Amino acid sequence: MTTTASDTSVDLGSPLTVPQLLRAAAPVEVLAGSAVEDRVARGRAYLGTLYDDDRPVYGLKTGFGALVGYAGRSSGADQCDNTLAHLGAGQGPDLPPAVARAALLVRTWSLAQGLSGVSAHVVSGLAAMFATTFVPAIPRYGSVGASGDLIPLAYAAQALRGRGHAYLDGTRLPASEALAAAGLSPLELDGRDALALVNGTSVTTAATALALSSVRDSHRALTDLTCLLVDVLGADPGFVDARLISAFGHPGAAAVGTSMRSMLTGCVPSGSRALQEPYSIRCSPQLLGAAEDALRYADGVVAADLGGVSDNPLFFPDDDLVAHGGNFFGQPAAYAADVLAMVTASLGNLAERQLDLLVDPARNTGLPPMLAAGPGRQHGLQGVQLATTAFIAEIRRNVLPASTQSLPTNLHNQDVVPFGTQAALRAYDLADLLRLLCGSLALGLRQAVHVGARRPTAPRCAALFDALAAAIEPVDPDRPLDEDVRVAAEVVVARGW
């Protein structure tokens, strides 16, 4: 097998990246080279020496969680069944396929580092799954993100064994049928294999990483759309002056200011606006810059998670060490995901306020109310503006930090928990609403020029407007705009221009 990774493959010998998690939503080649095979084999061989050792090894010779003081099942197969069966307590809708597959890629990479003592065929079997469209059906609710994402990953492991349900080509099937149709063999697991599959925060890490990618795309789009708003209204771009932003002292604002100045190069103020713009324009570099600083923090957490091993215990053959500890505790991602939610709320509020400014004739330099081509006979962006209010209300309702909500469980074995899974999946959901808010603002800017705003004077702003105009017809006469909002979001958020 070749071990050279490309844009369409993932090499388990190198740290994972967020783009690789995004690619895992579709079939992708996962490569396990000789170095991976060697360290997995070395870890497994060391595990084999521990069965007759007097040292206690969690999950190998013991029960699980609060029942660690009791002996486990006598055979590896029974220990596997015991591990997974009691965790079959999840509820709710299935996770999005993109999250489920990204989570399993994170889990595969962690196991491939050789510190978990898993069988070699576990890593190769997981790698084979990624070449197909197979997706385990994983219920959303059940993890506290502390001893790993135990319950959701147990459903994934069961599906890979041919139990429970899975998706193939988007169709939900009994897992055994999905495996057969995909040409995959059911995974055979012993107790250590099963425990290693569930004992990591891979769902939390994956959802946080995917949410971060989406929020970053929306952040970039909103930066561009703010510039287009400035140009369409004829505002003075002096609020992004390099000397002004430099004096503010924050690196994120400096980066955003540089981006906005590039976008606004060639913008000519109309002279018809007030000396000082509302804060949704004038303070946008500071707001977007603070978001950039927060996103850089999340970047670091996600990179560390993607390059770290999440399991318990870990096995270090060279040191003859079985290390019991807490590398399955998802506190870093919990904090990062909560930060992402707060950033989403601030960015969403900015987009909603900018659209509100744009549709208001008292503040939009005389454009018709709601950007209607014939006010009264038509209603323009009125429905869209109502929807954005609902979107931002939904975001705000969900921003309460999950990472502060610790509740003891498991007979106080897990007496503190991070709730990172809840934080991550919440951030993933809110990122979709932020994307729609960006699409709504983009649609408003496209319509503004149709009803009397000037064509942008900065070349890059004009290019963005032209991309929107090519994708979306003017709202004249009124029509349902739900699809137009999604199209506009695709243009500006998915770098479609």
Neighbours of 246 (CB within 10 A): 12
The single residue listed with the structure tokens 């950033």 is: 343
Q: Which of 187, 192, 188, 162 is nearest to 73 (CA)?
A: 192
Annotation says 58 is catalytic: yes
| Amino acid code (one letter) for 349 | N
Kindly name the residue from 58, 141, 279, 335 that is annotated as catalytic.
58
φ/ψ bin of 173: left (φ > 0), alpha (ψ from -120 to 50), beta (otherwise): beta
| Active centre residues (catalytic) | 58
